[in-house]
Structure 1
Protein backbone atom coordinates (compact mmCIF):
# COMPACT_ATOMS: atom_id res chain seq x y z
CA UNK A 1 0.00 0.00 0.00
CA UNK A 2 1.67 3.24 -1.15
CA UNK A 3 -1.15 5.70 -0.43
CA UNK A 4 -1.38 7.79 2.74
CA UNK A 5 2.23 7.17 3.71
CA UNK A 6 3.21 9.28 6.71
CA UNK A 7 6.44 11.32 6.63
CA UNK A 8 7.43 10.19 10.12
CA UNK A 9 7.54 6.57 8.92
CA UNK A 10 9.90 7.26 6.00
CA UNK A 11 13.22 5.41 6.00
CA UNK A 12 14.91 8.44 4.41
CA UNK A 13 14.06 12.12 4.24
CA UNK A 14 16.08 15.02 2.82
CA UNK A 15 15.43 18.62 1.86
CA UNK A 16 16.95 19.91 -1.40
CA UNK A 17 17.78 23.59 -1.11
CA UNK A 18 16.42 25.99 -3.71
CA UNK A 19 18.38 25.68 -6.94
CA UNK A 20 20.54 22.75 -5.78
CA UNK A 21 21.10 19.12 -6.97
CA UNK A 22 20.55 15.79 -5.21
CA UNK A 23 21.64 12.26 -6.12
CA UNK A 24 20.36 9.23 -4.22
CA UNK A 25 19.22 5.63 -4.56
CA UNK A 26 15.87 3.88 -4.36
CA UNK A 27 15.71 0.07 -4.08
CA UNK A 28 13.25 -2.12 -5.99
CA UNK A 29 9.96 -2.12 -4.08
CA UNK A 30 10.68 1.12 -2.25
CA UNK A 31 8.50 4.19 -2.71
CA UNK A 32 9.90 7.64 -3.47
CA UNK A 33 7.96 10.85 -2.85
CA UNK A 34 9.09 14.11 -4.45
CA UNK A 35 7.48 16.96 -2.54
CA UNK A 36 6.99 20.56 -3.66
CA UNK A 37 7.32 22.24 -0.26
CA UNK A 38 6.26 25.80 -1.07
CA UNK A 39 4.56 25.36 -4.44
CA UNK A 40 5.26 26.38 -8.05
CA UNK A 41 8.71 24.73 -8.13
CA UNK A 42 10.03 22.70 -11.08
CA UNK A 43 12.01 19.58 -10.12
CA UNK A 44 14.07 18.22 -13.03
CA UNK A 45 14.63 14.48 -12.55
CA UNK A 46 16.53 11.60 -14.19
CA UNK A 47 16.56 7.89 -13.31
CA UNK A 48 19.30 5.29 -13.88
CA UNK A 49 19.65 1.59 -13.16
CA UNK A 50 21.97 1.22 -10.18
CA UNK A 51 23.32 -2.07 -11.56
CA UNK A 52 24.06 -0.56 -14.99
CA UNK A 53 23.91 3.26 -15.18
CA UNK A 54 23.99 3.08 -18.99
CA UNK A 55 20.38 1.91 -18.63
CA UNK A 56 18.35 5.04 -17.94
CA UNK A 57 14.95 6.65 -18.22
CA UNK A 58 13.87 6.91 -21.87
CA UNK A 59 11.32 9.58 -22.72
CA UNK A 60 10.50 8.17 -26.18
CA UNK A 61 9.66 4.67 -24.96
CA UNK A 62 7.75 6.04 -21.99
CA UNK A 63 5.55 8.38 -24.05
CA UNK A 64 4.99 5.84 -26.83
CA UNK A 65 3.80 3.17 -24.42
CA UNK A 66 1.39 5.46 -22.56
CA UNK A 67 0.33 7.54 -25.61
CA UNK A 68 0.46 10.77 -23.62
CA UNK A 69 3.05 13.57 -23.50
CA UNK A 70 2.38 14.21 -19.81
CA UNK A 71 3.01 11.95 -16.84
CA UNK A 72 0.54 11.36 -14.03
CA UNK A 73 -0.83 8.71 -11.69
CA UNK A 74 -0.51 5.26 -13.28
CA UNK A 75 2.29 6.24 -15.69
CA UNK A 76 5.11 3.72 -16.01
CA UNK A 77 8.61 5.06 -16.67
CA UNK A 78 10.57 2.87 -19.09
CA UNK A 79 14.32 2.56 -19.64
CA UNK A 80 16.24 2.73 -22.90
CA UNK A 81 16.31 -1.09 -22.76
CA UNK A 82 12.52 -1.20 -22.67
CA UNK A 83 12.19 -2.26 -19.04
CA UNK A 84 9.87 -0.62 -16.49
CA UNK A 85 11.86 1.39 -13.97
CA UNK A 86 9.22 3.06 -11.79
CA UNK A 87 5.46 3.55 -11.65
CA UNK A 88 3.74 6.73 -10.50
CA UNK A 89 1.46 5.36 -7.79
CA UNK A 90 0.13 8.64 -6.41
CA UNK A 91 0.04 12.19 -7.76
CA UNK A 92 -1.91 15.09 -6.30
CA UNK A 93 -0.55 17.66 -8.76
CA UNK A 94 -2.13 16.38 -11.97
CA UNK A 95 0.50 16.26 -14.70
CA UNK A 96 4.23 16.55 -15.23
CA UNK A 97 6.24 17.74 -18.24
CA UNK A 98 8.38 15.41 -20.34
CA UNK A 99 9.31 17.73 -23.24
CA UNK A 100 10.69 21.00 -21.85
CA UNK A 101 14.11 19.58 -20.97
CA UNK A 102 16.65 20.97 -18.53
CA UNK A 103 17.88 24.55 -18.62
CA UNK A 104 21.52 24.98 -19.59
CA UNK A 105 24.01 27.73 -20.40
CA UNK A 106 23.21 27.32 -24.09
CA UNK A 107 19.42 27.44 -23.71
CA UNK A 108 19.62 30.39 -21.32
CA UNK A 109 21.58 32.26 -23.99
CA UNK A 110 19.25 31.36 -26.87
CA UNK A 111 15.96 31.85 -25.00
CA UNK A 112 16.82 34.93 -22.96
CA UNK A 113 20.01 36.91 -23.54
CA UNK A 114 23.77 36.57 -23.86
CA UNK A 115 24.28 37.89 -20.34
CA UNK A 116 22.14 35.01 -18.98
CA UNK A 117 24.63 32.39 -20.20
CA UNK A 118 26.47 32.00 -16.92
CA UNK A 119 23.41 31.85 -14.70
CA UNK A 120 23.15 28.63 -12.69
CA UNK A 121 21.26 25.89 -14.59
CA UNK A 122 19.89 22.36 -14.22
CA UNK A 123 22.54 20.93 -16.52
CA UNK A 124 25.23 22.48 -14.29
CA UNK A 125 23.49 20.91 -11.28
CA UNK A 126 23.49 17.48 -12.91
CA UNK A 127 27.19 17.72 -13.73
CA UNK A 128 28.05 18.88 -10.20
CA UNK A 129 26.25 15.90 -8.68
CA UNK A 130 27.80 13.46 -11.18
CA UNK A 131 31.28 14.82 -10.51
CA UNK A 132 30.94 14.24 -6.77
CA UNK A 133 29.49 10.74 -7.16
CA UNK A 134 31.74 9.34 -9.92
CA UNK A 135 29.33 6.76 -11.38
CA UNK A 136 27.72 9.14 -13.86
CA UNK A 137 29.24 11.58 -16.31
CA UNK A 138 28.42 14.13 -19.00
CA UNK A 139 27.40 11.45 -21.50
CA UNK A 140 24.73 10.20 -19.09
CA UNK A 141 22.72 13.44 -19.08
CA UNK A 142 19.64 12.59 -21.14
CA UNK A 143 16.17 14.14 -21.64
CA UNK A 144 14.60 14.46 -18.20
CA UNK A 145 11.23 14.69 -16.47
CA UNK A 146 10.18 18.07 -15.12
CA UNK A 147 8.00 17.20 -12.16
CA UNK A 148 5.40 19.91 -11.39
CA UNK A 149 6.44 22.01 -14.41
CA UNK A 150 3.71 23.42 -16.67
CA UNK A 151 4.72 23.27 -20.35
CA UNK A 152 1.57 23.29 -22.51
CA UNK A 153 1.77 22.09 -26.11
CA UNK A 154 0.33 24.72 -28.45
CA UNK A 155 -2.09 23.88 -31.31
CA UNK A 156 0.82 24.42 -33.70
CA UNK A 157 2.98 21.85 -31.90
CA UNK A 158 5.19 24.29 -30.02
CA UNK A 159 5.95 24.50 -26.31
CA UNK A 160 5.37 27.35 -23.88
CA UNK A 161 6.62 27.80 -20.32
CA UNK A 162 3.70 28.83 -18.13
CA UNK A 163 3.03 29.53 -14.48
CA UNK A 164 3.11 26.29 -12.48
CA UNK A 165 0.03 24.26 -11.58
CA UNK A 166 1.54 22.89 -8.37
CA UNK A 167 1.03 24.22 -4.86
CA UNK A 168 2.59 23.94 -1.43
CA UNK A 169 2.53 20.31 -0.28
CA UNK A 170 1.83 18.80 -3.70
CA UNK A 171 3.77 15.64 -4.43
CA UNK A 172 4.34 12.80 -6.84
CA UNK A 173 4.97 9.28 -5.52
CA UNK A 174 6.78 6.53 -7.44
CA UNK A 175 7.39 2.86 -6.67
CA UNK A 176 10.62 1.40 -8.08
CA UNK A 177 10.57 -1.77 -10.22
CA UNK A 178 14.37 -1.99 -10.11
CA UNK A 179 17.17 -0.49 -8.04
CA UNK A 180 17.54 3.06 -9.36
CA UNK A 181 19.70 6.13 -8.92
CA UNK A 182 17.69 9.35 -8.81
CA UNK A 183 19.36 12.52 -10.08
CA UNK A 184 17.51 15.74 -9.28
CA UNK A 185 18.06 19.39 -10.07
CA UNK A 186 15.75 21.53 -7.96
CA UNK A 187 15.52 23.99 -10.83
CA UNK A 188 17.31 27.35 -10.36
CA UNK A 189 15.70 29.01 -13.41
CA UNK A 190 14.89 32.70 -12.88
CA UNK A 191 14.03 33.72 -16.45
CA UNK A 192 10.65 32.04 -17.00
CA UNK A 193 7.64 31.39 -14.73
CA UNK A 194 8.29 27.66 -14.18
CA UNK A 195 9.40 28.51 -10.60
CA UNK A 196 7.35 31.68 -10.25
CA UNK A 197 10.72 33.48 -10.76
CA UNK A 198 11.58 32.39 -7.22
CA UNK A 199 13.16 28.92 -6.74
CA UNK A 200 12.17 27.25 -3.46
CA UNK A 201 13.19 24.07 -1.54
CA UNK A 202 11.90 20.59 -2.32
CA UNK A 203 11.96 17.35 -0.36
CA UNK A 204 12.53 13.68 -1.10
CA UNK A 205 11.21 10.87 1.12
CA UNK A 206 11.71 7.11 0.72
CA UNK A 207 9.68 4.34 2.33
CA UNK A 208 10.58 0.64 2.47
Structure 2
Protein backbone atom coordinates (compact mmCIF):
# COMPACT_ATOMS: atom_id res chain seq x y z
CA UNK A 1 0.00 0.00 0.00
CA UNK A 2 1.37 3.43 -0.92
CA UNK A 3 1.80 6.14 1.76
CA UNK A 4 -1.00 8.11 0.07
CA UNK A 5 -3.51 5.34 0.86
CA UNK A 6 -2.05 3.50 3.85
CA UNK A 7 -4.89 4.61 6.14
CA UNK A 8 -8.61 5.09 5.60
CA UNK A 9 -8.27 8.84 6.06
CA UNK A 10 -5.36 9.04 3.62
CA UNK A 11 -7.25 6.93 1.07
CA UNK A 12 -10.27 9.21 1.37
CA UNK A 13 -8.13 12.31 0.91
CA UNK A 14 -6.42 10.75 -2.10
CA UNK A 15 -9.74 9.80 -3.72
CA UNK A 16 -11.22 13.25 -3.15
CA UNK A 17 -8.12 14.91 -4.61
CA UNK A 18 -8.86 13.16 -7.90
CA UNK A 19 -12.16 15.02 -8.30
CA UNK A 20 -12.23 17.11 -11.46
CA UNK A 21 -14.87 19.36 -13.01
CA UNK A 22 -17.20 17.45 -15.33
CA UNK A 23 -16.91 18.67 -18.91
CA UNK A 24 -20.37 18.94 -20.45
CA UNK A 25 -21.23 20.25 -23.91
CA UNK A 26 -23.54 23.24 -24.14
CA UNK A 27 -27.16 22.71 -25.24
CA UNK A 28 -27.64 22.86 -29.01
CA UNK A 29 -28.97 26.13 -30.40
CA UNK A 30 -32.64 26.54 -29.63
CA UNK A 31 -32.71 23.86 -26.92
CA UNK A 32 -33.53 24.94 -23.37
CA UNK A 33 -31.28 23.67 -20.61
CA UNK A 34 -34.46 22.58 -18.84
CA UNK A 35 -35.20 20.13 -21.66
CA UNK A 36 -31.76 18.50 -21.59
CA UNK A 37 -31.69 14.91 -20.32
CA UNK A 38 -28.08 14.06 -21.26
CA UNK A 39 -24.97 16.20 -21.71
CA UNK A 40 -21.59 14.52 -21.69
CA UNK A 41 -18.19 14.66 -23.38
CA UNK A 42 -16.80 11.17 -23.98
CA UNK A 43 -13.00 11.08 -24.38
CA UNK A 44 -11.42 8.79 -26.95
CA UNK A 45 -11.13 5.23 -25.66
CA UNK A 46 -14.21 5.55 -23.41
CA UNK A 47 -17.89 4.64 -23.42
CA UNK A 48 -21.25 5.84 -22.16
CA UNK A 49 -24.89 4.73 -22.01
CA UNK A 50 -28.36 6.07 -21.28
CA UNK A 51 -32.04 5.10 -21.44
CA UNK A 52 -34.04 7.63 -23.50
CA UNK A 53 -37.77 8.17 -23.79
CA UNK A 54 -39.58 7.87 -27.09
CA UNK A 55 -39.27 11.12 -29.06
CA UNK A 56 -35.97 12.17 -27.47
CA UNK A 57 -33.43 13.86 -29.76
CA UNK A 58 -29.87 12.56 -29.45
CA UNK A 59 -27.09 14.73 -30.88
CA UNK A 60 -23.58 13.39 -31.43
CA UNK A 61 -20.88 15.93 -32.28
CA UNK A 62 -17.25 15.58 -33.39
CA UNK A 63 -15.61 18.88 -32.32
CA UNK A 64 -12.05 18.03 -33.40
CA UNK A 65 -12.74 15.80 -36.39
CA UNK A 66 -11.26 12.71 -34.72
CA UNK A 67 -14.15 10.97 -32.94
CA UNK A 68 -15.73 7.68 -33.98
CA UNK A 69 -19.03 6.87 -32.27
CA UNK A 70 -19.90 3.16 -32.28
CA UNK A 71 -23.62 2.86 -31.48
CA UNK A 72 -25.96 0.08 -30.36
CA UNK A 73 -29.67 0.54 -29.68
CA UNK A 74 -32.05 -1.74 -27.76
CA UNK A 75 -35.72 -1.18 -27.06
CA UNK A 76 -35.81 -0.30 -23.37
CA UNK A 77 -37.08 -3.25 -21.29
CA UNK A 78 -37.24 -5.41 -24.46
CA UNK A 79 -33.55 -6.00 -25.29
CA UNK A 80 -34.33 -8.79 -27.74
CA UNK A 81 -35.54 -6.06 -30.09
CA UNK A 82 -32.38 -4.22 -31.02
CA UNK A 83 -30.49 -2.58 -33.85
CA UNK A 84 -30.15 -4.86 -36.86
CA UNK A 85 -27.59 -3.31 -39.19
CA UNK A 86 -28.18 -5.89 -41.93
CA UNK A 87 -31.91 -5.10 -42.06
CA UNK A 88 -31.19 -1.37 -41.79
CA UNK A 89 -29.14 -1.61 -45.00
CA UNK A 90 -31.26 -4.21 -46.79
CA UNK A 91 -34.72 -2.73 -46.20
CA UNK A 92 -33.63 0.77 -47.29
CA UNK A 93 -31.61 -0.45 -50.30
CA UNK A 94 -28.69 1.68 -49.12
CA UNK A 95 -25.48 0.93 -47.19
CA UNK A 96 -24.67 4.61 -46.66
CA UNK A 97 -26.46 6.36 -43.82
CA UNK A 98 -27.39 10.03 -43.94
CA UNK A 99 -30.26 12.48 -43.32
CA UNK A 100 -33.62 10.70 -43.36
CA UNK A 101 -32.14 7.23 -42.89
CA UNK A 102 -33.72 4.89 -40.36
CA UNK A 103 -32.06 2.56 -37.86
CA UNK A 104 -34.22 -0.57 -37.86
CA UNK A 105 -34.75 -3.62 -35.70
CA UNK A 106 -35.28 -7.14 -37.03
CA UNK A 107 -38.99 -6.70 -36.21
CA UNK A 108 -39.44 -4.27 -39.10
CA UNK A 109 -39.78 -1.33 -36.72
CA UNK A 110 -37.92 1.97 -36.47
CA UNK A 111 -35.62 2.43 -33.49
CA UNK A 112 -34.30 5.85 -34.51
CA UNK A 113 -34.30 8.21 -37.47
CA UNK A 114 -31.51 10.53 -38.58
CA UNK A 115 -32.95 14.05 -38.58
CA UNK A 116 -29.73 15.99 -39.22
CA UNK A 117 -26.24 15.11 -40.47
CA UNK A 118 -23.42 17.48 -41.38
CA UNK A 119 -20.74 14.77 -41.51
CA UNK A 120 -21.77 12.22 -44.13
CA UNK A 121 -18.95 9.93 -43.00
CA UNK A 122 -20.51 6.87 -41.39
CA UNK A 123 -20.23 3.08 -41.56
CA UNK A 124 -22.86 0.33 -41.41
CA UNK A 125 -20.55 -2.41 -42.69
CA UNK A 126 -17.51 -2.96 -40.45
CA UNK A 127 -18.81 -2.97 -36.89
CA UNK A 128 -16.43 -2.13 -34.06
CA UNK A 129 -13.00 -3.39 -33.01
CA UNK A 130 -12.41 -6.57 -31.01
CA UNK A 131 -10.06 -7.63 -28.24
CA UNK A 132 -8.06 -9.92 -30.55
CA UNK A 133 -7.71 -7.25 -33.23
CA UNK A 134 -6.49 -4.58 -30.83
CA UNK A 135 -4.04 -6.97 -29.19
CA UNK A 136 -2.56 -7.72 -32.60
CA UNK A 137 -2.43 -4.08 -33.67
CA UNK A 138 -1.77 -2.11 -30.48
CA UNK A 139 -0.59 -4.73 -28.00
CA UNK A 140 -3.74 -4.73 -25.87
CA UNK A 141 -7.49 -4.27 -26.21
CA UNK A 142 -8.76 -4.71 -22.67
CA UNK A 143 -11.04 -1.99 -21.25
CA UNK A 144 -8.43 -0.79 -18.74
CA UNK A 145 -5.63 -0.56 -21.30
CA UNK A 146 -4.48 2.44 -23.31
CA UNK A 147 -6.08 0.90 -26.43
CA UNK A 148 -9.48 -0.56 -25.43
CA UNK A 149 -11.48 -2.39 -28.10
CA UNK A 150 -14.96 -1.19 -28.98
CA UNK A 151 -16.66 -4.50 -28.23
CA UNK A 152 -15.05 -4.64 -24.78
CA UNK A 153 -16.35 -1.16 -23.94
CA UNK A 154 -19.81 -1.93 -25.31
CA UNK A 155 -19.86 -5.03 -23.09
CA UNK A 156 -19.28 -2.79 -20.06
CA UNK A 157 -22.05 -0.42 -21.14
CA UNK A 158 -24.34 -3.39 -21.75
CA UNK A 159 -23.63 -4.90 -18.32
CA UNK A 160 -24.71 -1.66 -16.63
CA UNK A 161 -28.11 -2.13 -18.28
CA UNK A 162 -28.56 -5.79 -17.41
CA UNK A 163 -27.34 -6.99 -20.82
CA UNK A 164 -24.61 -9.46 -21.76
CA UNK A 165 -22.52 -10.70 -24.72
CA UNK A 166 -25.53 -12.32 -26.40
CA UNK A 167 -27.17 -8.87 -26.55
CA UNK A 168 -24.40 -7.26 -28.64
CA UNK A 169 -25.06 -7.44 -32.39
CA UNK A 170 -22.89 -5.61 -34.95
CA UNK A 171 -22.84 -1.86 -34.29
CA UNK A 172 -23.03 1.15 -36.57
CA UNK A 173 -20.38 3.89 -36.41
CA UNK A 174 -20.58 7.62 -37.07
CA UNK A 175 -18.01 10.26 -38.13
CA UNK A 176 -15.60 7.90 -39.92
CA UNK A 177 -16.73 6.65 -43.29
CA UNK A 178 -16.25 3.55 -45.41
CA UNK A 179 -17.06 3.05 -49.10
CA UNK A 180 -17.30 -0.17 -51.08
CA UNK A 181 -14.69 -0.26 -53.86
CA UNK A 182 -15.45 -1.62 -57.33
CA UNK A 183 -13.68 -4.86 -56.48
CA UNK A 184 -15.80 -5.36 -53.39
CA UNK A 185 -13.21 -4.26 -50.84
CA UNK A 186 -13.78 -1.54 -48.27
CA UNK A 187 -12.04 1.84 -48.45
CA UNK A 188 -11.74 3.95 -45.30
CA UNK A 189 -12.51 7.58 -46.16
CA UNK A 190 -11.91 9.13 -42.74
CA UNK A 191 -13.77 12.04 -41.21
CA UNK A 192 -15.37 15.15 -42.65
CA UNK A 193 -13.27 17.35 -40.38
CA UNK A 194 -13.96 19.18 -37.12
CA UNK A 195 -17.28 20.61 -36.07
CA UNK A 196 -19.67 18.09 -37.63
CA UNK A 197 -22.70 16.57 -35.92
CA UNK A 198 -25.53 14.10 -36.32
CA UNK A 199 -28.96 14.03 -34.64
CA UNK A 200 -31.08 10.93 -34.05
CA UNK A 201 -34.73 10.86 -32.98
CA UNK A 202 -35.74 7.95 -30.73
CA UNK A 203 -38.85 6.41 -32.29
CA UNK A 204 -39.21 3.95 -29.38
CA UNK A 205 -37.96 4.06 -25.77
CA UNK A 206 -34.29 3.13 -26.19
CA UNK A 207 -31.28 1.89 -24.29
CA UNK A 208 -28.33 3.63 -25.96
CA UNK A 209 -24.83 2.13 -25.80
CA UNK A 210 -21.90 4.19 -27.17
CA UNK A 211 -18.16 3.56 -27.47
CA UNK A 212 -15.81 6.26 -28.79
CA UNK A 213 -12.83 4.38 -30.23
CA UNK A 214 -10.80 4.34 -33.48
CA UNK A 215 -12.48 2.81 -36.51
CA UNK A 216 -11.24 -0.72 -37.31
CA UNK A 217 -9.96 0.42 -40.72
CA UNK A 218 -8.25 3.60 -39.46
CA UNK A 219 -4.74 3.38 -40.97
CA UNK A 220 -3.12 5.39 -38.15
CA UNK A 221 -0.66 2.98 -36.47
CA UNK A 222 -1.17 4.78 -33.15
CA UNK A 223 -4.34 4.45 -31.10
CA UNK A 224 -5.94 7.87 -31.46
CA UNK A 225 -9.52 9.06 -31.08
CA UNK A 226 -10.81 12.56 -30.31
CA UNK A 227 -13.61 13.57 -27.94
CA UNK A 228 -17.27 12.92 -28.69
CA UNK A 229 -19.94 15.33 -27.48
CA UNK A 230 -23.28 13.77 -26.55
CA UNK A 231 -26.45 15.71 -25.80
CA UNK A 232 -30.10 14.64 -25.67
CA UNK A 233 -33.30 16.52 -25.00
CA UNK A 234 -37.03 15.93 -24.81
CA UNK A 235 -39.00 15.78 -28.02
CA UNK A 236 -41.77 13.97 -29.88
CA UNK A 237 -41.59 11.00 -32.25
CA UNK A 238 -41.88 11.49 -35.99
CA UNK A 239 -45.48 12.42 -36.77
CA UNK A 240 -47.81 11.90 -39.74
CA UNK A 241 -46.77 13.73 -42.89
CA UNK A 242 -43.13 14.12 -41.83
CA UNK A 243 -40.81 13.86 -44.87
CA UNK A 244 -38.73 11.17 -43.15
CA UNK A 245 -41.85 9.04 -42.66
CA UNK A 246 -43.13 9.61 -46.19
CA UNK A 247 -39.82 9.28 -48.04
CA UNK A 248 -40.29 5.72 -49.36
CA UNK A 249 -42.74 2.80 -49.21
CA UNK A 250 -40.26 1.03 -46.91
CA UNK A 251 -40.14 3.90 -44.43
CA UNK A 252 -43.94 4.21 -44.40
CA UNK A 253 -44.27 0.51 -43.60
CA UNK A 254 -41.59 0.64 -40.88
CA UNK A 255 -43.26 3.61 -39.19
CA UNK A 256 -46.69 1.96 -39.46
CA UNK A 257 -45.28 -1.14 -37.75
CA UNK A 258 -43.75 1.07 -35.05
CA UNK A 259 -46.92 3.11 -34.45
CA UNK A 260 -49.07 -0.01 -34.13
CA UNK A 261 -46.68 -1.57 -31.63
CA UNK A 262 -46.26 1.60 -29.52
CA UNK A 263 -50.02 2.26 -29.47
CA UNK A 264 -50.69 -1.24 -28.16
CA UNK A 265 -48.14 -0.68 -25.39
CA UNK A 266 -49.34 2.83 -24.57
CA UNK A 267 -46.01 4.56 -25.28
Scaled by the length of structure 2, what TM-score is found? 0.68
Q: Does 1:152 align with 2:164?
A: no
Q: How does 1:123-162 map to 2 (within 5 A)?
A: 123-131=151-159, 133-162=160-189
Aligned residue-pair number: 201
What residue ranges of structure 2 are gaps of 5+ in the alignment?
1-27, 235-267
Partner SS state of residue 51, structure 2: strand
What residue ranges of structure 1 are gaps of 5+ in the alignment?
none
Q: Does 1:71 align with 2:97?
A: yes
Query: Distance in 2 between the 1:86 and 1:134 partners?
Result: 19
CA apart distance, 1:67 = 0.9
Which residue of the partner structure matches residue 115 of structure 2? 89
Q: Does 1:177 align with 2:203?
A: yes
Residue-by-residue CA offset, 1:14-70 (whole Å, 9 max, x unaligned)? 111221011112211111101112113211111110030111001111111211111
Residue-by-residue CA offset, 1:123-165 (whole Å, 9 max, x unaligned)? 111112223x142111111111110112121111111334x23
Partner SS state of residue 177, structure 2: coil
Q: Which one has a bigger Cα radius of gyration?
A: 2
Residue-by-residue CA offset, 1:61-112 (whole Å, 9 max, x unaligned)? 11112111111000011112111111100001124110111101223356x4
CA apart distance, 1:8 = 5.4
Query: Distance in 2 between the 1:36 and 1:194 partners?
Result: 18
Q: CA RMSD in A?
A: 2.5
For the 8 Å contact 1:20–1:188, the answer to whether it is kept is no
Query: Distance in 2 between the 1:76 and 1:140 partners?
Result: 21
Work out which of the residue numbers 77, 101, 112 in structure 2 matches 1:51: 77
CA apart distance, 1:198 = 2.4
Runs of 4+ in 1 over 3 A off after TM superposition: 4-10, 115-119, 188-191, 193-197
For the 8 Å contact 1:120–1:189, the answer to whether it is kept is no
Q: Which moved more, 1:135-144 or 1:164-173?
A: 164-173
Relative to structure 1, the CA distance from residue 105 to residue 91 in structure 2 (aligned partners, 3 Å threshold; closer, same or farther) is same
